């Protein structure tokens, strides 16, 4: 039997991608960005208005490291929200499990960091698997509420300080005496920065590999039409549980790095507001895209920190009180931007580039 190749479909010229100068460089852009971020601590440029000190000052590096962590967290959360279509309101729980787990094992139990980290990430993943197994028996909005309730239990456990482990409302400072010397002290902030960068790279890599795999295609199918996946003979529950567990594990790994950067755990990271801000990051960046959530997370954390300084700056203070007071609340600005984003650019930041290119093409003179 001979196989006859089907004739290739004719694609109209205007629909086939233009292989411009940028198209050839594009696949390497993430690598370039990674290299730039990795060598950033060696530069002493100061960007007034953007960062307070020079780029390699410990304060700036710490801010950047936190931004990178949240870029990774948002990318991990996007595995649930953007790629599988699960609206979880309890993602903060697994992050908090990473933060508090490491902190308690190092500070209270005196374990070496690598053991504590390993135990915490394993524990966080198992926790996500167990709670996901229960929560995924519901779908849609009910799922959102159940995850919210589970996360609330975590918040209560931490705040009420059962057994005197978590330090309650005051939080638990990390005992640094047992940590490797390279991760302790202001002068070593740069190592923490690289650690955060490594975490972000890991998350992006994992999410990218998963979404490219057959499992990832099933997840995308679940997002678009869950019933159809069921009809095709695949079990939606199992695939969702895999995504949930993986995202939980990644979040607890993020918690391990975060506790090292911040040097302790505080109860606000267990609150549902953290999950809500992850949601805001993903939607602002562009759900279901590779770089959108990362960008959203980095930008959100940056704005959250910098808007506080902006709010107390002279430019804002000189405005009438009606304007200056709301503007000094980062959450007010971010919340408003978020609502506008939901209405006016639903695809997030990453959808802006194609839109702008449409605009420029429309504005370009017809002669070309």
Q: Which parts of this chain interact with other proteins (CB under 8 A)?
A: 87, 134, 137-142, 144-146, 148-150, 152-153, 156-157, 159-160, 162, 272-273, 276-277, 279-280, 283, 325-326, 328-332, 334-336, 338-339, 342-343, 346
H helix and E strand count, the chain? 16, 2
Q: What does DSSP assign to residue 287?
A: T
**Cα–Cα distance between 193 and 304 in angstroms, integer?**
19
Nearer to other proteins, 156 or 356 (CB): 156
DSSP secondary structure string for all residues of 62-118: HHHHHHHHHHHHHHHHHHHHHHH----S-HHHHHHHHHHHHHIIIIIS---HHHHHH
Beta carbon nearer to other proteins, 60 or 350: 350
Between 247 and 260, whose beta carbon lies closer to other proteins? 247
Counting Cβ atoms within 10 Å, is residue 11 exposed (0-12), middle (13-18) or buried (19+)? exposed
Least distance between other proteins and beta carbon 283 (Å)? 6
Is 172 or 280 the residue whose CB approaches other proteins more closely?
A: 280
Nearer Cβ to other proteins (67/279): 279
* β-pairing verdict for 172-173 and 264-265: antiparallel
Identify any residues that bridge with 264 across adjacent strands, giving them in sequence order: 173
Query: CB of 12: closest distance to other proteins in angstroms?
Result: 32
Distance CA 194, CA 158 (A): 29
Q: Which is nearer to other proteins, 189 or 328 (CB)?
A: 328
The C-alpha torsion from 263 through 269 and 270 to 271, rounded to 10°, is: 160
The H or E element spanning position 173 is: strand 172-173
Minimum Å gap between C-beta 216 and other proteins is 20
Nearer to other proteins, 193 or 239 (CB): 239
**Cα gap 100→313, rounded to integer Å:** 35
160 versus 217: smaller Cβ distance to other proteins? 160
Shortest distance (Å) from residue 93 CB to other proteins: 12
Closest approach of other proteins to the CB of residue 269, in Å: 16
For residue 287, which phi and psi values (nearest 5 degrees)?
Answer: -65, 145
Shortest distance, CB of residue 257 to other proteins, whole angstroms?
25
| Shortest Å, Cβ 101 to other proteins | 19
What single string gives the DSSP state of each residue in 323-357? HHHHHT-HHHHHHHHHHHHHHH-TT-GGGHHHHHH
Q: How far is the CB of 294 from other proteins (least distance, A)?
A: 19
Contact at 8 Å (CB) between 68 and 200?
A: yes
């Amino acid at each position: 039997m001979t196989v006859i190749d089907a004739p290739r479909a004719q694609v109209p010229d205007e629909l086939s991608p233009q292989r411009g100068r940028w198209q050839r460089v594009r696949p390497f852009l993430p690598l370039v960005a990674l290299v730039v971020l990795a060598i950033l601590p060696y530069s002493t440029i100061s960007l007034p208005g953007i960062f307070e000190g020079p780029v390699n000052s410990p304060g700036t590096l710490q801010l950047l490291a936190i931004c990178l962590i949240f870029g990774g967290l948002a990318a991990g959360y996007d595995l649930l929200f953007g790629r599988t279509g699960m609206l979880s309101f309890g993602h903060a729980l697994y992050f908090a499990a990473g933060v508090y787990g490491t902190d308690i094992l190092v500070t209270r139990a005196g374990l070496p960091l690598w053991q504590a980290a390993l135990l915490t990430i394993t524990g966080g993943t198992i926790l996500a698997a167990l709670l996901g197994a229960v929560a995924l028996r519901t779908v849609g909005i009910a799922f959102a509420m159940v995850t919210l309730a589970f996360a609330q239990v975590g918040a209560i456990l931490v705040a009420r300080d059962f057994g005197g482990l978590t330090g309650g409302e005051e939080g638990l400072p990390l005992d640094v005496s047992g940590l490797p010397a390279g991760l302790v002290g202001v002068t070593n902030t740069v190592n923490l920065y690289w650690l955060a960068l490594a975490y972000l790279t890991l998350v992006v890599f994992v999410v990218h590999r998963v979404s490219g795999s057959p499992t990832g295609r099933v997840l995308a199918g679940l997002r678009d039409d869950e019933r159809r996946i069921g009809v095709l003979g695949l079990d939606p529950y199992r695939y969702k549980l895999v995504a949930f567990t993986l995202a939980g594990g990644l979040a607890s790994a993020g918690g391990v790095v975060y506790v090292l950067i911040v040097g302790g755990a505080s109860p606000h990271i267990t609150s549902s507001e953290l999950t809500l801000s992850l949601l805001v990051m993903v939607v602002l960046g562009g759900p279901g895209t590779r770089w959108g959530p990362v960008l959203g997370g980095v930008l959100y954390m940056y704005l959250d920190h910098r808007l506080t300084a902006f709010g107390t700056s002279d430019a804002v203070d000189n405005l009438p009180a009606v304007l200056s007071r709301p503007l000094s609340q980062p959450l007010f600005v971010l919340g408003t931007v978020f609502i506008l984003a939901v209405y006016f650019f639903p695809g997030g930041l990453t959808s802006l580039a194609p839109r702008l290119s449409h605009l420029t093409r429309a504005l370009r003179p017809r002669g070309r």
